[in-house]
A and B are shown apart, each in its own frame.
Chain A
Amino acid sequence: MNPNVKFTTGAMTPFQARRRWLTAFAAGAGAVAMAGCDKAVNNERIDATLRSAEKLTFASQRLILDHQPLAKEYGERDLSPVFRSNGSAMPAGKEYAQLLQGKFVDYRLKVDGLVQRPLALALPELKAMKTRSQITRHDCVEGWSAIGKWQGVPLSQVLDLAGLKPGARYVIFHCADNLGETADDSGLYYESIDLLDAYHPQTILAYGMNGKDLPVANGAPLRLRVERQLGYKQAKYINRIEVTDAYAHLNGGKGGFWEDRGYEWYAGI
C-alpha cells in the first residue's frame, strides 16, 4: 500500500472502501498463493516427485531416438548472421592465456579413463582424422536458437582410437573455463553424455565454425556438438575427455556444471 496515502475511512465512499478491501484481499491472496507455491517448490518430497518426470522424458525420448535419427541440417543461407556466445566467452587463467598466445600449438586433448590407450592429441592430429561438417541449430535452455556451421572430428573416431574398456558408460568433458568463478577447480565447466549420444554420427569435437577456426567466444580450440540436446551440453574449451562408468564422483555429482545447479542431465527437451 502507498504509505503516502493517509488512511481516512470517513472520507471514503463505500465503493472506495470496498475496492480498497478487495485490493488488499487480492494482494493478500496473491501473497499466500505465492508463498504456497514457493513452499511447494522448496518441499523436498514434491521436488523429488517432479524430478521423476525427467526419467519418463528420458526413457520415452530414448525409445524414439534409439535408431539414431539425425538432427535437421540446414543450408548456408539459414546461418544466423550473429551466432550468440553464451556462458564463458574467454576462460581466465594463465594456462589458457599461454595456449591462446601460442595459437594452440601446445594444446593437447587428453583422452583417458576406461580406455585401452590413453591419448594426448594435438590439433593437427585431430584435424588429420576423419572430418565431418554440419550446419545445425543450437538450442539454448533459455529459449533462443542459433544456426551455425561446425567442422570437426566425430567423437566416435577419437573413442575408437583410444579403445573403450569394458564397463565404459559415460564420456566426461573437462573444460578450461571456470564458469563458477571459484578460487579452486570446483567451478570448472564439465559435461557428460552416455555412449548412445557419444556414438551418434553428428556428435563431433568441433575445431571449426562457419568456415573458420573456432573462435574463443565459442569454445576454442575444441568444443562438443551433441546435436540432439540443449546448449549447456555443448561443452566448450575441452582439454580432457574421460571415459567412465559413472559420473557421481565428479563435483556436484549430477554430471555437469549446470546439472549440479538444478538442470536436467538429459537435455533433449
Chain B
Amino acid sequence: MTTARMPSGTTPHTAAAPTKQLVPRHSALVRVTHWINVFCFSLLLMSGAQIFNAHPRLYWGQYGADNDHAWLSVDSLQGSAGWRGVVHVGSLTIESTGLLGASKEDGALQPRGFPAWLTIPSYQDLAIGRRWHFFFAWLFVINGAVYLIGGLVRRHFRRDLLPTKAELAPAHLVHEVVTHAQLNFPKGEAARRYNVLQKLSYMGVAFVLLPLMVLTGLTMSPGLDSAFHILLDVFGGRPSARSIHFICASLLVAFVVVHVVMVLVSGVWNNLRSMITGKYEIEIDGDAK
C-alpha cells in the first residue's frame, strides 16, 4: 500500500505522493472480441458438455466405439441404491456421483455424463446441443478471425503479446512466478504492460489452444475429413481429434479459472473497467515523474 511510505504524523511531500492516472489499456478490438469470446466460449462449453454426454467415452486412434478401449470414460452404474457415477482415466477409477456419471435432475440421481447445470439444454438432447454448438462455433470463428487479423494489422501481437528476450530469461520467469504466487503484482509504469506470464498464457490461448479447438472440431466432420485427409494424419484419427478437443477444452477451463482469480485478486474493478472502457488506473510515484 502507498500509505506504507507515509508514516502517520508526517506530512507527505506533495511531489513524492503517488498519483493515480487512467491510461489506455485495451483497444476496442480487444475489448469487443474478448467479450464476444467469453459469451461464445461459455455456450460452446455447455453445448459441448451436452454433446459429450451422448457418448461419454474418449478414444485414441482411427476408430473407437463401445467395444474399444477408452482412455477416459464417465460411466453410470445402476446399483441397488440407485445410480452411481464413476470416472475411469487410464487405470484410475474415481467415484464421481453427484458430479459426473450420475447427478441430480428433478431431485433424483440420473445417469448422465456432465450434470444438468453444466449442459445446454439442461436435459439430454443431442440435436439441440449440436445446433447451439455449431451456431456459436461459427460466431467464435468469425470473432477469432477478426481478432487475429486485427491484432496482426494493428501490431497488437508484436507490441503487447510477444515477450522480449529479457522477459524470457529463466531468472526473470522464476521471479515472475514467485511474485505472482505471492499475489504481488506489478505497479506503476510496469503495470502499463502485460507481464511475461500474461503474455505467454494469452499467446498460448489465442495461438495454440483456441486454434486447436477449431481444427480438432473440424476433424470430427466426415465432410471436411474427405476434403482434408491431412487433418486425420495430423491428429491421428477422428477419435484422437475428439480427445484433443476435450483436453484443450479442459485446459481452457483451467485457464479461465486462473484468469478470473487473477482478475479478482489484482484489482477487480480496475481490470473490469479496462476491459470495458479501455482505461486502466495505474499509480505513478511522485519520484518517478
Contacts and interface: CB of A to CB of B under 8 A. Distances in A.
Given A47-B131, A78-B63, A228-B222, A142 B229 contact: no
B238 to A, nearest CB: 5
Contact of A143 (B132, B134, B223, B242): B242
Interface residues of B, number: 45
Given A74-B62, A143-B52, A145-B237, 14 more contacts: A53-B131, A54-B131, A61-B224, A64-B227, A65-B223, A72-B229, A78-B62, A80-B63, A82-B65, A145-B62, A145-B65, A228-B225, A268-B221, A269-B222
Residue among B63, B137, B221, B229 having the largest count of chain A Cβ atoms under 10 Å:
B63
Contacts of B68: 80-82
Interface in B214-248: 220-227, 229, 232, 237-239, 242
A70 B225 CA distance: 9
Nearest to A62: B223
A140 B134 contact: no
- Which 6 residue pairs of A and B lie closest in terms of their CB atoms, listed nearest first? A268-B223, A262-B127, A82-B67, A53-B135, A143-B55, A144-B65
A41 B135 CA distance: 13
B227 A137 contact: no
Interface of B: 46, 51-52, 54-55, 57, 59, 62-68, 116-117, 120-123, 125-128, 130-132, 134-135, 137-138, 220-227, 229, 232, 237-239, 242
Given A53-B138, A80-B68, A71 B225 contact: yes
B55 A268 contact: no
Given A141-B130, A229-B223, A38 B122 contact: yes
B128 A53 contact: no
A258 to B, nearest CB: 8
Nearest to A49: B135
A69 B227 contact: yes
A56 interface: yes
Contacts of B54: 141-143
A143 B128 CA distance: 15
Contact of A144 (B64, B116, B125, B227): B64
Nearest to A51: B131
A183 B134 CA distance: 35
B215 to A, nearest CB: 14
A230 to B, nearest CB: 6
Contacts of B128: 41, 262
Nearest to B238: A145
Given A50-B135, A142-B55, A144-B57, A61 B130 contact: no
Interface in A137-161: 137, 139-147
Contacts of B239: 144-145
A22 interface: no
A33 B121 CA distance: 11
A38 B129 CA distance: 11
B67 A139 contact: no
Contact of A227 (B121, B134, B221, B226): B226
A65 B232 CA distance: 17
14 contacts: A30-B117, A41-B132, A50-B132, A53-B131, A65-B223, A82-B65, A137-B225, A140-B65, A144-B239, A262-B128, A263-B130, A268-B223, A269-B220, A269-B222
B226 A71 contact: yes
B243 to A, nearest CB: 11
A21 to B, nearest CB: 19
A241 B269 CA distance: 65
Nearest to B67: A82
A137 B122 contact: no
B103 to A, nearest CB: 12
